[in-house]
């Protein structure tokens, strides 16, 4: 007969040996199960003396612990979120992490001591924590730091044994067998003594200095003296930089910076002479080295101003791209200045090549020349068009000797059309009093002629 069956494949978590965490004594560690099955290599096929969890249990985690001193270490649980059991096993880390060789420490479902083990200073073990259930719960365990059974052995290290005057050194206690007290002596240092486990000491005077450490625990004490351990060299004075001129100049210029130290300079731009020539903007320093010690000058900021001379063209109007600068348009034929053409935009009245001179912070540069060809019509002489009054407040008359259909157009300094009128009347009154003060271009276009005139509005 026909029938069906549904099966499910559950994915296990990664092998526990691939995610080992290192723990310290005296600090609680929370083992958090996320639900689901643990490593299939454990506990199946593993010979242990725990025997509480039969078959495959829940999530696992492996931790690494390095004994800081020789003594007896107490394993215990300090918190449990449920009554589900968690078992604890360990093995010597020298033998590597694998599914065999584990020794049972015990198992707990509540708060309390698990067991104790004896370790020597430097011994490294793996601790395997295995959940009984596939449910999600947590248990916190802790390895108490050992009570000393032997006297400490003093030892220490330093962040740098060769320093410059004014520098600070960090000392680190590396003593064995769990010292509980430290007594340091630092001749030539500040402070000269300390009872901290990891003191910081500043040396302000050139010389070679001894360091002494005495460590104590409940069993005994030990002292270590390191002769001529710290060497302090005199740091050089920071150089002073001077400039042979202004440190702000136009692009293409330069300034020479000079260190007051004649030799051994290293400039921030890579130069090694006493002087360096700077032609680009930036912050510049000089560093000198003496006996392995360095000192760096205060920075000097150099500014090389550049001028944007790019120009855009729209129809018969040129516009400089730079804003907030000074403009002067010129005729490239002889580089002749065009009177009144000092706005960002310029509308030529005749065919030719034109450019703009841009000035910024005293720096001037000239754009490329741009060609324009006006309409190939006869241009009226100036006597044909009369504008009065000019300048005006915006109300003015415009006369031209023609009864032909004529268009009057007015553009602002940006080349925008602000007024347009078609007329066949030779004399026209125009009111542009609503416009802002400024210089405008007035264009008169007839069937036969055209002309562009400058219109000035004042308020």
Would you call the peptide bond into 371 cis, given omega within 30 degrees of 0 as the criterion?
A: no
* pLDDT score at 276: 96
What is the tens place of the pLDDT at every residue in 53-77? 555 556 778 899 999 878 889 999 9
**So what's the pLDDT on residue 44?**
43
Phi and psi at 18, nearest 5°, equal -90, -5
Show the low-confidence residues of the chain (pLDDT under 50): 7-14, 37, 39-49, 376-383
The reported pLDDT for the residue numbered 10 is 42
Structure tokens at 82: 């449920």
Residue in the block written with tokens 């001077």? 242
**133: three-class secondary structure by DSSP:** coil
| β-sheet bridge partners, residue 318 | 313, 346
Please tell me the predicted confidence (pLDDT) of residue 380: 42
Q: Which residues contact 175 (CB under 8 A, 6 or more apart)?
A: 152, 153, 154, 155, 156, 213, 215, 222
Residues 356 and 328: beta-carbon distance below 8 Å: yes
Name the DSSP letter for residue 81.
S
Nearest to 216 by CA among 182, 265, 249, 263: 182
Q: Please tell me what DSSP assigns to residue 85.
A: -
Q: Quick one: pLDDT at residue 9?
A: 43
Which residue from 46, 63, 65 is spatially nearest to 55, judged by alpha carbons?
A: 46
Six-digit token string for 375: 């309409």
- Write down the pLDDT at residue 168: 96
Q: Which two tokens stand for residue 154?
A: 């003093």
Rounded Cα–Cα distance for residues 1 and 354 (Å)? 97
- Asked if 184 and 194 count as a contact pair (C-beta separation under 8 A), the reply is yes
Q: How far apart are CA 86 and CA 106, in angstroms?
A: 9
pLDDT of amino acid 288: 93
Owner of token pair 């001529």: 228
């Amino acid at each position: 007969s026909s029938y069906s069956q549904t099966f499910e494949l559950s994915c296990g978590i990664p092998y526990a040996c691939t995610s080992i965490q290192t723990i310290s004594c005296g600090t609680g560690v929370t083992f958090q199960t996320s639900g689901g099955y643990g490593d299939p290599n454990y506990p199946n096929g593993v010979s242990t003396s725990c025997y509480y969890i039969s078959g495959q249990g829940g999530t696992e985690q492996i931790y690494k612990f390095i004994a800081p001193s020789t003594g007896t270490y107490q394993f215990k649980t300090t918190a449990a979120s449920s009554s589900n059991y968690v078992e604890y096993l360990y093995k010597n880390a020298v033998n590597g992490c694998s599914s065999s060789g584990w020794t049972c420490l015990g198992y707990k479902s509540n708060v309390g001591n698990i067991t104790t083990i004896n370790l020597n200073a430097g011994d490294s073990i793996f601790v395997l924590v295995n959940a009984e259930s596939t449910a999600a719960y947590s248990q916190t365990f802790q390895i108490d730091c050992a009570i000393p059974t032997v006297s400490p052995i003093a030892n220490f290290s330093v962040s740098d044994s060769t320093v410059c005057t004014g520098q600070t050194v960090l000392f680190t206690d590396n003593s064995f067998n769990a010292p509980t007290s430290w007594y340091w002596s630092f001749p030539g240092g500040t402070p000269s003594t300390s009872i901290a486990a990891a003191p910081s000491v500043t040396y302000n005077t050139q010389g070679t200095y001894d360091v002494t450490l005495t460590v104590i625990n409940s069993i005994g004490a030990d002292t270590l003296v390191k002769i001529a351990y710290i060497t302090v060299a005199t740091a050089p004075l920071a150089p002073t930089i001077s400039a042979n001129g202004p440190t702000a100049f136009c692009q293409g210029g330069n300034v020479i910076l000079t260190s007051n130290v004649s030799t051994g300079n290293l400039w921030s731009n890579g130069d090694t002479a006493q002087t360096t020539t700077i032609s680009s903007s930036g912050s510049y320093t000089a560093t000198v080295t003496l006996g392995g010690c360095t000192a760096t000058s205060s920075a000097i900021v150099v500014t090389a101003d550049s001028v944007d001379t790019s120009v855009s063209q729209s129809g018969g109007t040129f516009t400089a791209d730079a804003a907030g600068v000074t403009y002067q348009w010129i005729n490239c034929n002889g580089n002749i200045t065009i009177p009144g053409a000092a706005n960002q935009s310029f509308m030529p009245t005749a065919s030719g090549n034109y450019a703009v001179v841009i000035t910024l912070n005293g720096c001037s540069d000239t754009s490329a020349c741009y060609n324009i060809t006006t309409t190939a019509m006869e241009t009226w002489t100036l006597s044909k068009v009369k504008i009065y009054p000019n300048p005006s407040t915006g109300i003015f008359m415009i006369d031209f000797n023609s009864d032909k259909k004529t268009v009057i157009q007015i553009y602002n300094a940006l080349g925008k059309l602000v007024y347009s009128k078609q007329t066949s009347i030779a004399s026209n009154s125009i009111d542009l009093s609503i416009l802002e003060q400024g210089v405008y271009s007035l264009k008169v276009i007839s069937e036969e002629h055209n002309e562009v005139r400058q219109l000035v509005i004042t308020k």
